Amino acid sequence: MRLVRDLGSSVGVPVEEETSGRQKYYRIRAERPSGTLPMSEEEWRLLEMCGVFARHLLGTDLFAEAEQGLVKSRALLKVKDSETERGHFAALKTGTIDFTPHQKTIRMLIKAMEKKRVCRVTYRAILADRAKTFCVKPLKLFAYADSVYLLARMAKPPGNRYREPDFDLILAVHRIRKVELTETLFERPATHDF
């Protein structure tokens, strides 16, 4: 019973339950989503490869969510079991950062970008004695040299004087100590070129 519940809740497969007399039956209906085209085998392999290459950058929880999406998409493919063998891809990860402890930060930054909200960021630079707090407009998360960075513009702190800086900020996500969403909205720059 627990395994059936786990199948329904963690993998997201709807399990139907039916009782007939003293017998209990479980069924999973094979349904194709309407209006969508199934993913090709080549597309799935490329996503699998990207997943392996990016696993160490995402951290455990975010990677598990991405992998769950792949598993759900995999159900749309009609592939023989012999073709689904894993292990074609690998990534060498010497000296990389484990981003598992920074997943809350990444999620908050994604939320801020989607909602176009200014963030109050507490950040400790590599040689700084202590962390500093300032307001930013988060524009893009990007990966470079086995690390994840935030590209952002400075924002006017409430009640303070402000002068637009000459350059955008690039912050190492693993050095961000805290992210708070403010109520202040911002517009993405129309001429911004990453």
68 touches 12 (CB < 8 A): yes
Residue 112 CB neighbours (<10 A): 23
Q: In the chain, what are the domains?
A: 2-84 (no CATH), 100-185 (2.30.30)
Exposure class string for 145-160: b at 16+ Cβ within 10 A, else e: eeebbbbbbbbeeeee
| Global model pTM greater than 0.75 | no
Summarize pLDDT for 148-167 with one digit per residue, the tens.
Answer: 899 999 998 777 777 777 88
The residue with greater pLDDT, 165 or 6, is: 165
Q: What is the pLDDT of residues 32-90, one digit of tens each?
A: 555 455 667 777 777 777 877 777 777 778 888 877 877 776 666 655 444 445 567 77
Please give the C-alpha separations between residue 73 and each of 9, 63, 139, 165, in angstroms, as whole numbers.
Answer: 17, 15, 29, 44
Q: Please answer whether residues 15 and 28 qualify as being in contact, where contact means their C-beta atoms are separated by less than 8 angstroms.
A: yes
